[in-house]
Chains A and B, each alone.
Chain A
Amino acid sequence: MIFPERLKALHFQDPQRIAVTLQFPSADDLPVTLDGLLRGSQSFAQAYARQGIRPGEVVVLILQHGEDLLYAFWGAVLHGAIPSIMPFLTEKLSPERYRADLASLMEVTQPAAIVTYPEFENEVRSVIREGSSVRAVIVTDRIPPAAEVDFDSLEGFQRKPEDIVLLQHSSGTTGLQKGVALSHQAVFNQLNAYSRALNLQKDDVVVSWLPLYHDMGLIAGFLMPILSGIHLVLMSPFDWVRAPYKLMQSVTRYRGTLTWLPNFAYNFCAQKIRDRHLEGVDLSSWRAVINCSEPVRWESHRAFYDRFKDYGLRWEALQTSYAMAENVFGVTQSRLGSEPTVHEIDREAFMVERVAKSPLDGRPSMKMMSSGYPLENVEIRILDEQGNDLPERHIGEVALKSDCMLTGYYNRRDLTEKAFRDGWYLTGDYGYIADGEIFVSGRKKDMIIVGGRNVYPQDLEALTYEVPGVHAGRSVAFGIFNEEQGTEEVVIIAEVDSEDPAEQQRIADAIRLHVTKNSAIALRHVKVVDPKWIIKTSSGKTARSANKEKFLKELQEEQSRERTD
């Protein structure tokens, strides 16, 4: 099966069905029928053809939430080109850094075209150098809408199931150079297996605010509903973060049944929605709110449930999944209709012996929530450092194999080869298996996950070195978990020569400003320290965790001093 064939079949069944409802902060909801979606996409497919873009070439989409993004994406698919959605420039990010990120994406991905808005055209053109792969900058306002859908004219129908259908990048300098390339077949294999795990029905309604440049948003909150013929209600992440109650109102209005959220969103919704915004809200239609893309926390489910139980939310609706772009999306899914298993485990045994066992009487314990069972097309192993299988309840690296793995990191054969061992994809996540369920407990990689977004600490450290007063190699970045927010906060520590507190404060501010402007990541703690504070080892990885421990210890001491003061 290929994407265009599926769309054609759905169109044949019911062209006037509402496929997507787009929501906006200060405009009415916009229902888009499948016929409307395909006509809009056809016009983009024709624009790609006119510009000489060939099937199999990459088209980068620099667009925000809205109709253009919808049509530009599916238009690329109908033309047989490979769409890749790049986050749009936000007010937080510096335009210079954005240009650099775009240039680095272009260098690896070698796109043939870039699609953007007229007001952003010059910005995009300024990045295109002589000899660039980019032959066309396609501007959205110059695309006349197609009068009707004409499947026969579309080249995308010539694609084969094993051809690459899309690229998915994570953010930052490191992430943009690692485009996950997925085939039509891999996506369908994922959707088939995942739909069965969800018992997906025609009358399901997906409500999502997740960004489409992230796997959870792109697959669960975009491709799956559209390719399954299920109504999708979509709002922008930028609107949701300022008005989280809109999620509840949309679920109420459209009788939403399925929503995916990163863990922090449970805390965010529980803490930041006013009663007045919940008048008339009825969440009883929600059959699953699936926690995914950050470590899942029982405490976050509890807070969410307590806040919304009076509005029809059912406890059994709170579900979990473990997913990654390299497997298209879902690896595991908890069983809908029953609550995910929670283990109370001994904290010390977990930390020291790396085993999840029941706590002895009175010993400190912690809650581990299951991410569910492997999808029917996924095999999972838990491996030790040498690659040997570990017994149940022993913590090791999660490795997986499935029929929906990535084709490769696009144009990065080196990275693709490194990611696999004997045909098994090494996830870089730690976890254990108990009675067939997967419990994800941490990460082998130093990656920080902030609000569901992957952040590479080396990117943040490199930015810190650019700040005057900080020397290369004398900064460390890591994440620390914030219980209240249900996600990680970013900490940057930098050594400076000056011991003058005012000068140190000035440099700390400069770091905060520079790193945020260049990564769009807000920093919670910026600590400027005297020389020799940072613990150095030959391996950067060890240094990050050692420095994190040192930071946390000092933070604890400071806080206990403040309490006694």
Chain B
Amino acid sequence: MSDLIQTLASFLAEKILKQPGRVIAPDEPLISSGLIDSFSLMDVALFVEDTFGVRIEDTELNADTFDNLTQLAALIESRRS
């Protein structure tokens, strides 16, 4: 698992799910499964911006843009380069 995915996974487990020990698989659905609700989506966007300097626009905050860690990591990578 890449460092990027690992960083995102720890953030989600600790800050969003409040279960630090929770393992989140890279392909586990996040939004469509209800794991992340719409209120927490903002937190994900803010974390990504602060940590990786990558902006996710508010209109992109839905399952079509990313629904698992692999997709989110790919989005971040594509915007970092």
- Tell whether, in the assembled complex, residue B33 and residue A91 are in contact, meaning their CB atoms are under 8 Å apart: no
What residues on B are CB-neighbors of A274 within 8 Å?
46
The CA of A84 and the CA of B14, in the complex, are separated in Å by: 41
What residues on B are CB-neighbors of A523 within 8 Å?
34
- Tell whether, in the assembled complex, residue B62 and residue A91 are in contact, meaning their CB atoms are under 8 Å apart: yes
Select which of A243, A513, A517, A522 is within 8 A of B39 by beta carbon.
A522
- Tell whether, in the assembled complex, residue A242 and residue B38 are in contact, meaning their CB atoms are under 8 Å apart: yes
What residues on A are CB-neighbors of B41 within 8 Å?
241-242
**Is A564 part of the contact surface with B, judged by Cβ < 8 Å?**
no
**Is B61 part of the contact surface with A, judged by Cβ < 8 Å?**
yes
CB proximity of B28 to chain A, nearest CB, Å = 9
**Is A525 part of the contact surface with B, judged by Cβ < 8 Å?**
yes
What residues on B are CB-neighbors of A243 within 8 Å?
58-59
Select which of A242, A516, A522 is within 8 A of B58 by beta carbon.
A242
**Is B63 part of the contact surface with A, judged by Cβ < 8 Å?**
yes
What residues on B are CB-neighbors of A91 within 8 Å?
31-32, 62-63
- Tell whether, in the assembled complex, residue B18 and residue A25 are in contact, meaning their CB atoms are under 8 Å apart: no
Given A242-B42, A524-B18, A525-B18, are A26 and B59 neighbors across the interface (CB < 8 Å)? Answer: yes
Residues 24 to 75 of chain A near chain B (Cβ within 8 Å): 25-26
**Is B40 part of the contact surface with A, judged by Cβ < 8 Å?**
yes
How many chain B residues sit at the interface, stated as a range, is 20 to 34
The CA of A241 and the CA of B37, in the complex, are separated in Å by: 10
**Is B35 part of the contact surface with A, judged by Cβ < 8 Å?**
yes
Which residue of A is nearest B29, CB measured? A513
Contact flags A511-530 to B (C-beta < 8 A → 1, else 0): 01101110000111100000
What residues on B are CB-neighbors of A515 within 8 Å?
34
- Tell whether, in the assembled complex, residue B18 and residue A451 are in contact, meaning their CB atoms are under 8 Å apart: no
Instruction: Give residues in B with beta carbon < 8 Å to A.
Output: 18, 22, 31-43, 46, 58-59, 61-63
29 residue pairs bridging A and B, Cβ less than 8 Å apart: A25-B58, A25-B59, A91-B62, A91-B63, A92-B31, A92-B32, A92-B34, A92-B38, A241-B39, A241-B41, A242-B38, A242-B41, A242-B42, A242-B58, A268-B39, A272-B42, A272-B46, A451-B39, A513-B33, A513-B34, A513-B35, A516-B33, A516-B34, A516-B35, A516-B37, A522-B34, A522-B39, A522-B40, A524-B18
Closest 6 CB pairs of A and B: A516-B34, A522-B37, A243-B58, A242-B58, A242-B61, A272-B42
